[in-house]
Amino acid sequence: MGNNEMALSYLEKALEIQQKSLPSDHPYLAAIYNNIGHSYRSMGNNEMALSFYEKALEIHRKSLPSNHPNLALNYNNIATAYYSAGDYAMALSYLEKALEIHRKSLPSDHPNPAANFNNIGELYRSMGKYEMALSFYEKALKIHRKSLPLDHPNLAINYNNIGLLYQSMGNNEMALSYFVKGLEIHQKSLPSDHPNLAANYNNIGLLYQSMGNNEMALSYYEKVLEIHRKSLPSDHPNLALNYNNIGELYRSMGKYEMALSYLEKALEIHRKSLPSDHLNLAANYNSIAAVHYSTGDYAMALSYYEKGLEIHRKSLPSDHPNLAANYNNTAAVHYSLGDYKMALSYWEKALEICRKSLPSDHPNLALNYNNIAATYYSTGDYAMALSFYEKALEIHRKSLPSDHPNLALNYNNIAAAHFSTGGSAMALSYYEKALEIHRKSLPSDHPNLAANYNNIGHLYQSMGNNAMALSYLEKALEIHRKSLPSDHPNLAGNYSNIGVVHCSLGKYAMALSYLEKAVEIMQKALSNNHPWLAGMYSNMAAALGKLRRYNEAVGYAIQAAEIARSSLGPDHKNTKAFQNQLRQLQQMMSLL
């Protein structure tokens, strides 16, 4: 039995005793109902939490004046349950009721309205309404600056909230400045092993990770882990969260074995301490699935995503955003398997949820449109792809600053669609818009800049301008060499791209040297039947064929065809292309 279940059992015993001796509307019963509600919410059971919070509210409405602070507390509790369930409209209505009471019954600089403003700000942040969120966070900050000492922990919480908001808006510099303000207060006012200090370090770690600075991110995550190991029991959920963050970081670095080891530690804790349908378990399954997905083990990825989906279907309302995220993940696996029809069905489920539960200009809707567009793009329906990419762009232009990285992603996607329809000039203009944003908003060695250079390099290659192609691909390689471990899969992609250009230039020996580096990395990083390996082997076969080393070329072509057939299926376009390459090489060899 986990700690939450143990607490719940004691609270239920207390309730049973008190119900026998107290009238049904006694305030002490309301307190017990609230505590039971808290326990259920901690266990991820928002429906049960809500039922107990409402029992407490019913008592307080009968026994207290309409502007009593305990009523406001009730409204806040109910709001948090609705918030956790993804019902933001209901959450907002209850938060506003709480705020109304506090405004009537408390002085304007009292800390309680500040807490209300923070909660409403957090809600608007989750809804993607960043300007509204900022206005409420700043109201809370204004109150705290007047009523609290400058080193009070609540001020630090304010700064962290505003930092998280700026991070959501893509303004990493402002985000970091607020996180540091929060950290300075916590370092002065709290013991070195306090959980709030760990939360600060965690926020800074997440920010550095989003900026592509994995080394700094890891250093902050390890500070968090050090605090939690000292101050928490070994099976505490916060330790699991730590392991999860470090695991996710290693995944982004391409260190999949390390990632899996940390994610499995997190899963072990959650299995011991949480009920089997807890939302944190679903998050664990999704993280582990993502690692298997990255290594090309799509069957394992799908099994873990389905475990996560099963939990979400049981414990969340049918229109909850987390359910949409699950559908998105499952769709991505089907997409990678070339099953575009199945992928589209899951992405459309996600879109349906997002349309119901989110405002029409929410960034998550844009993400959905991008995913659906990518599926149409892969089926060759470039007109449909472009229409969905443009819907995503429209949302991002309204809701994000003009230099936000997500806008750059949009421009890259639209460029790719134009490129596929032969609109090289339009493609180049959009790629350059994306590059302009990344140059302004990212450090010069950020992986997203490298991706930009790669895209432009590919475009110039398709236009027959191999010299320009090579210059951009080498810029990408330079960034990846500085910012990634020497065995990272993205480096392999770079080597492969440059190898293909050298092949086009007729420099087959040079091409082969780059392609061999790519294969060496990919063989270590990926499973033996990963589709990317098939592509690498096909490139090797092409270069070796040009060098008339047909025995070796045929060997690589066979591997490419076999991997594609087993991982993508016999009817996939790549499988057919690799089989055709194999036949051609075998014919050439037979002519010798």
DSSP of 198-230, one letter per residue?
HHHHHHHHHHHHHTT-HHHHHHHHHHHHHHHHH
Predicted confidence at residue 4, as pLDDT, reads: 65
Mean pLDDT of 407-436: 94
Report which listed range, 123-132, 230-239, 537-546, 560-569, is most confident. 537-546
Q: Which residues contact 240 (CB under 8 A, 6 or more apart)?
A: 265, 266, 267, 269, 270, 273, 280, 284
Domain with CATH 1.25.40.10 in the chain: 1-105
Rounded CA-CA distance 46/380 in Å is 43
The CA distance from 98 to 578, in Å, is 64
Q: What is the pLDDT of residue 296?
A: 83
Measured in whole angstroms, how far is the alpha carbon of residue 426 from the centre of its chain?
30
Other C-beta atoms closer than 10 Å to the C-beta of 299 total: 10
Q: Name the least confident of 202-211, 307-316, 440-449.
A: 440-449
pLDDT computed for residue 2 by the predictor: 55
User: Where residue 534 falls among pLDDT bands split at 50, 70, 90?
Assistant: very high
Mean pLDDT score of the chain: 91
DSSP letter (8 states) at residue 404: -
pLDDT above 70 coverage of the chain, percent: 99
The reported pLDDT for the residue numbered 23 is 80
Helix (H, G, I), strand (E, B) or coil at 549: coil
Split at pLDDT 50, 70, 90, the class of 26 is: confident
Q: What is the pLDDT of residue 3?
A: 63
Options 1.10.1740, 3.40.50, 3.30.70, 1.20.58; CATH for 526-592 is: 1.20.58
CATH 1.20.58 domain position(s) in the chain:
526-592
19 or 139, higher pLDDT: 139
pLDDT at residue 465 in the model: 94
Tens digit of pLDDT for each residue in 326-349? 999 999 999 988 889 999 999 999
Rounded Cα–Cα distance for residues 18 and 30 (Å): 11
Look up residue 367 and give its amino acid: L
Share of the chain above pLDDT 90, in %: 63
pLDDT at 20: 80
Going by pLDDT thresholds of 50, 70 and 90, the confidence category of residue 39 is confident
CATH class of 1-105: mainly alpha
**Two tokens, residue 505:** 């230039």
Tokens 């207060």 appear where? 185
The H or E element spanning position 464 is none
pLDDT digit string, tens, across residues 140-171: 999 999 989 998 988 999 999 999 999 988 88
What is the chain's percent helix, strand, coil content, to nearest 5?
80, 0, 20
Q: How many CB atoms lie within 10 A of CB 341?
A: 9
Would you say 329 and 290 are in contact if contact means Cβ atoms under 8 Å apart? Answer: yes
Distance between CA 382 and CA 369 in Å, rounded? 14
Q: Is the pLDDT of residue 1 over 60?
A: no
As a whole number of angstroms, the distance between CA 159 and CA 369 comes to 33
Mean pLDDT, residues 484-497 taken together: 88
Q: Which helix (H) or strand (E) holds 557?
A: helix 550-568
pLDDT at 399: 82
Q: Is the pLDDT of residue 310 over 80?
A: yes
- Can you give the three-state secondary structure of 100-160, one letter per residue? HHHHHHCCCCCHHHHHHHHHHHHHHHHCCCHHHHHHHHHHHHHHHHHHCCCCCHHHHHHHH
What is the sign of the dihedral through the CA atoms of 443, 448, 452 and 457? Answer: positive
